[in-house]
Structure 1
Amino acid sequence: MRPILKEEALDPYFYRKSDSAIATEHGAGPWDPRMLHGGAPSGLIASIVQNLPSEVPMSVTRLTIDLQRPVPVGHLDIDVNITREGRNIQTSEVILSANGKQVVRASGLKIRKAELELPEASAMPEVAGTIPETPIGFPRAVGFNTAVEMRTEDPAAVSRKAVWFHIKRPFLDSQETTPLMRAAATGDYCNGFGSTLDFDVWTYINADLTLHFAREPVGEWIKLEANSWISPDGRGLGFGELSDQHGPFGRAVQSLVIAKR
């Protein structure tokens, strides 16, 4: 088994500025080397929403990311607005633009933190997860995927494939990668590992990504159990459950655009 590289030894996906970011070629996706893998902007947006100040301590509960256009490698302008500030919730909007055109529009929801003593029947399931030994590859390991360690317990699975992800490259030059950023990027793999379509014959690009979190993820390894529904009218859904080594914590859903190559 090959060793895991230290994140500090790798250049980041983004060089962050106050109101912009420079996306590097390391974040490129499998569809076009000039365009980012969806996991790259998803992790960036997760960091922006997570770091927004709030009146009381809050956790990110939902991220909705509309990929309106392919996100290019290079300069991205970032516009952030808090659209609602309350004692229980905060909502926000994040817009990424390139060359004067809006490419991503995202919204975030944060909910205040509380300490509750729940009945045993209502508590979150805690399932100790063990990182599998078997590595698994991606159909086109370029750009973003070259620095992602993927392992599975069942490499022969076609649907409901469970894969553990460790993203080795840092997202930002100025911030440590958080578990939430890892989870957001991992959620973008629903189509890649949930689809039963042949990658060499079909494209199934996601037009969006919505993530819901029941609790804050923990650690550097995130598991995705991915699946999909494919419709003959050219659309589909990619979806999956997100877990860490303490058990499930969230879900991811994508709207897919299906086409033949």
Structure 2
Amino acid sequence: MSTPVADAYFVPIAPGRYRPTDHVGGGWNPDEQHIAPVMGLLAREIETHHASRRTDVLTISRATYDIHGVLPMDAFDISVDVIRPGRTIELVEATLTCQGRIAITLRAWLLATSDTSTIAGDGFPSMPPLADTPPWDFSSLWPGGFVRSVEARQIKVDTGQATSWVRPGFPLIADAATSPLARMLGVVDVANGLCPRRLPGDVAFPNVDLTAHILRSPEGGWLGLASHASFGPAGLGVTHSTVYDERGPVAVISQSLTVRPKAAV
């Protein structure tokens, strides 16, 4: 059962154990957790675990989430293990267990950073500025406490394609610091819901994973997502997005979809 707290997505109840609040209700089923905020919490647990055992800082460069099933609105536990230790490169895994089963795993590569500002560059297109993107009611398309908590702006580009700016309405945990990177990873799963090819009442297209490749830590409160969704002819799909802050691109993400028509449309 969720906890009706008004100022955060999760409430810590023991080390590595959390309870969701009503703000975490999902888009496909409001009585289940939206997977986006818990993705950020898993990243935060990896960062916290890293800080507890090392004085130097490695940063998450790739985060791969596998969603093993739906996540009930109930308390859950997160454990962290170092799969491949190293001085400048590590592979770390976080596992979320709820009601006696694994619900989601995160495998993250952590890399040492260095100053490459003089050779930095990318080939991504520019994102429409936040000020030029009109407000959009995300909850007009999706139910659930999490969607209601997200402030959104959007320009519809084409069927299955949109450019959007989003920011979460609450911190992951009340009165606890969260890195900008974990905060970003706690919202970008909404990409699949920002650019649907068909209405969710007609076709189900939940994602079974999310992989983020990260260029740098984001800055500011808003995140831009240039997203496009593709459905194949045999029930498979993918949503691919470039993630921006107001300075420019920060990451790319992909989500594998299972596409299931609810009726002949």
Name the structure 1 match of 2:150.
Answer: 148
Find the aligned partners of 2:251 and 2:197 in 1 and give their Cα distance: 23
Return the letter of the residue paired with 2:181: L
The count of residues paired between Structure 1 and Structure 2 equals 250
Distance 1:156 1:114, change over 3 A: closer
Render the CA deviation track for 1:68-120: whole Å, top value 9, x for unaligned: 0111111101111122221211211111111111111111111101123534x
Find the aligned partners of 1:117 and 1:151 in 2 and give their Cα distance: 31
Q: Does 1:27 align with 2:24?
A: yes
Find the aligned partners of 1:47 and 1:58 in 2 and give their Cα distance: 13
**Preserved CA contact (<8 Å) 2:205 2:260:** yes
**Preserved CA contact (<8 Å) 1:206 1:256:** yes
Aligned counterparts, 1:1-261, within 5 A? 10-16=6-12, 17-51=14-48, 52-53=50-51, 54=54, 56-116=56-116, 118-119=118-119, 122-124=120-122, 130-132=129-131, 134-138=134-138, 139-152=141-154, 154-155=155-156, 157-261=158-262
Find the aligned partners of 2:25 and 2:178 in 1 and give their Cα distance: 18
Identity %: 24
After the TM superposition, which of the residue ranges 194-203 and 251-260 deviates more from structure 2? 194-203
Q: Name structure 2 gaps, 5 residues minimum.
A: none
- Kindly state the Cα deviation for residue 11 of structure 1 after the two structures are TM-superposed: 2.4
Secondary structure of 1:44 counterpart: helix
**Preserved CA contact (<8 Å) 1:209 1:253:** yes
- Kindly state the Cα deviation for residue 221 of structure 1 after the two structures are TM-superposed: 0.5
Return the letter of the residue paired with 2:47: Q
| Length-normalised TM-score, structure 1 | 0.88
Find the aligned partners of 1:178 and 1:161 in 2 and give their Cα distance: 27
Find the aligned partners of 1:14 and 1:117 in 2 and give their Cα distance: 36
Find the aligned partners of 2:42 and 2:25 in 1 and give their Cα distance: 16
Secondary structure of 2:259 counterpart: strand
Return the letter of the residue paired with 2:11: Y
Find the aligned partners of 1:105 and 1:128 in 2 and give their Cα distance: 31
Find the aligned partners of 1:157 and 1:213 in 2 and give their Cα distance: 26
| Length-normalised TM-score, structure 2 | 0.87
After the TM superposition, which of the residue ranges 248-257 and 122-131 deviates more from structure 2? 122-131
- Kindly state the Cα deviation for residue 55 of structure 1 after the two structures are TM-superposed: 5.1
**Preserved CA contact (<8 Å) 2:160 2:230:** no
Return the letter of the residue paired with 1:259: R
- Kindly state the Cα deviation for residue 174 of structure 1 after the two structures are TM-superposed: 4.3
